[in-house]
């Protein structure tokens, strides 16, 4: 396929499972391409806007294999330098097939589903302070030092975020809030929360990211309020960087917000976001609004929390500074350095250790 060394990446994106797994692979692919590797993503992607991201990324996209044997055969054809798997749903046999072909890097969030990897990484804030999983022979990379960030985010990272937050004043005096409940809004909760924010916060400039653009345009606004409707898009980073506050699902976007130094209020939309939510909130990188079930049960209480945060620029600056210091945008470099060491020393005996 190519004379270059191949980095094979395996992840999927659907409306139900979201887009974060593939987005992390895009970040690693960008780093691999910068090192002269040829990234190849084996994927099932059912999210149209994400397909645009993949088309613009420095990688080759091919269909995901259905069986472990198919996966092993495809990897044998690619002869990869290393393999990355970022998924919760892929069976153990696929990991074993990949590990038989090349050094294997597997992403995990809190608890490894499959331990058969040369390198396991958990980029979540606080992962480096938790009890490490007991896995023989695997190199563990834990914590935000290994957070992977796409080029689109890295180029917008400020020198320091605090001054912008303390001194920015919009021309209209309205506070700018971006509401984004994940790359797919899997539980269709965005419009209900948007309505509550508009009810509780006067002088609000609200940007709503939702596939239901007609429903968002029907939201009722009061004098001094404005609603911008944004369909899910790969170009969201610029909007995030220009707001006073982002209300976000506690997914991959959390790491991006930290890297940008943007103050955020997080919602745990699904169970597997618990490590991200708890780590970011306990570390002081974001305000916690609770689980989505709690938010939907008390939307106006949540809106009042957001209102209070908008009225406290010093608190938002504190969150932004802490977040910006926590995610430094070099995690993907550290990960591929570690994988490269193993790839160069593939056949020598290794002993498991933890890197923090």
356 within some domain:
no
What confidence score (pLDDT) does residue 188 get?
81
Give 223's contacts (C-beta < 8 A, 6+ positions apart). none
What confidence score (pLDDT) does residue 288 get?
98
What confidence score (pLDDT) does residue 150 get?
95
d(CA 6, CA 94): 18
Domain range for 333 is 6-149+329-350
d(CA 230, CA 245): 16
C-alpha closest to that of 355 among 109, 113, 107, 121: 121
Task: Give me the CATH number covering residue 163.
Answer: 3.40.50.2000
355 within some domain:
no
What confidence score (pLDDT) does residue 212 get?
87
Task: Give me the CATH number covering residue 55.
Answer: 3.40.50.11190
Give 44's contacts (C-beta < 8 A, 6+ positions apart). 12, 13, 14, 63, 64
275 within some domain:
yes
d(CA 96, CA 117): 8
Same domain, 203 and 282: yes
Cβ atoms < 10 Å from Cβ of 73:
14
pTM for the full model? 0.89
CB 136 within 8 A of CB 118: no
What confidence score (pLDDT) does residue 350 get?
40
d(CA 38, CA 277): 34
Q: What is the mean pLDDT of each run of 10 residues along the chain (356 residues)?
A: 81 90 97 98 94 95 96 97 93 94 91 79 92 82 96 92 67 79 79 94 94 90 93 85 94 94 95 92 97 94 95 94 95 97 68 43
What confidence score (pLDDT) does residue 171 get?
42
The domain total for the chain is 2
Residue count of the chain: 356
Same domain, 109 and 211: no
DSSP string for 96-115: HHHHTTS-EEEE-SSS-S--
What confidence score (pLDDT) does residue 354 get?
44
Same domain, 23 and 114: yes
What confidence score (pLDDT) does residue 236 get?
87
């Amino acid at each position: 396929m190519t004379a270059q060394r191949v980095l094979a990446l395996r992840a999927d994106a659907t409306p139900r499972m979201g887009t974060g797994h593939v987005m992390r692979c895009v970040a690693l692919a960008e780093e691999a391409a910068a090192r002269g590797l040829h990234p190849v993503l084996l994927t099932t992607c059912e999210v149209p806007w994400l397909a645009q991201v993949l088309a613009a990324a420095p990688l080759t996209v091919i269909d995901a294999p259905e069986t472990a044997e198919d996966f092993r055969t495809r990897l044998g054809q690619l002869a990869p330098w290393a393999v990355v798997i970022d998924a919760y749903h892929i069976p153990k046999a696929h990991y074993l097939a990949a590990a038989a072909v090349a050094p294997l890097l597997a992403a995990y969030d809190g608890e490894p589903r499959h331990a058969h990897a040369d390198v396991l990484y958990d980029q979540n804030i606080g992962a480096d302070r938790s009890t490490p999983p007991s896995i023989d022979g695997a190199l563990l990379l834990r914590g935000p030092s290994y957070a992977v960030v796409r080029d689109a985010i890295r180029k917008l990272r400020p020198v320091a975020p605090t001054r912008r937050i303390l001194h920015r004043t919009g021309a209209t005096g309205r506070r700018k809030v971006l509401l984004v409940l994940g790359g797919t809004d899997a539980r269709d909760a965005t419009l209900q929360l948007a309505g509550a924010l508009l009810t509780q916060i006067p002088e609000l400039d609200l940007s709503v990211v939702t596939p239901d653009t007609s429903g968002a345009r029907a939201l009722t606004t009061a004098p001094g309020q404005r609603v911008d409707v944004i369909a899910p898009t790969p170009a969201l980073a610029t909007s995030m960087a220009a707001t006073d506050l982002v209300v976000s699902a506690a997914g991959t976007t959390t790491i991006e917000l930290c890297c940008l130094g943007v103050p955020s209020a997080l919602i745990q939309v699904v169970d597997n976001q618990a490590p991200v939510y708890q780590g970011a909130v306990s570390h002081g990188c974001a305000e916690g609004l609770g689980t989505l079930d709690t938010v939907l049960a008390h939307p106006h209480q949540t809106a009042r929390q957001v209102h209070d945060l908008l009225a406290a620029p010093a608190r938002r600056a504190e969150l932004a500074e802490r977040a910006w210091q926590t995610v430094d945008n070099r995690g993907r470099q550290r990960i591929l350095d570690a994988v490269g060491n193993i790839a160069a020393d593939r056949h020598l005996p290794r002993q498991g250790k933890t890197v923090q």
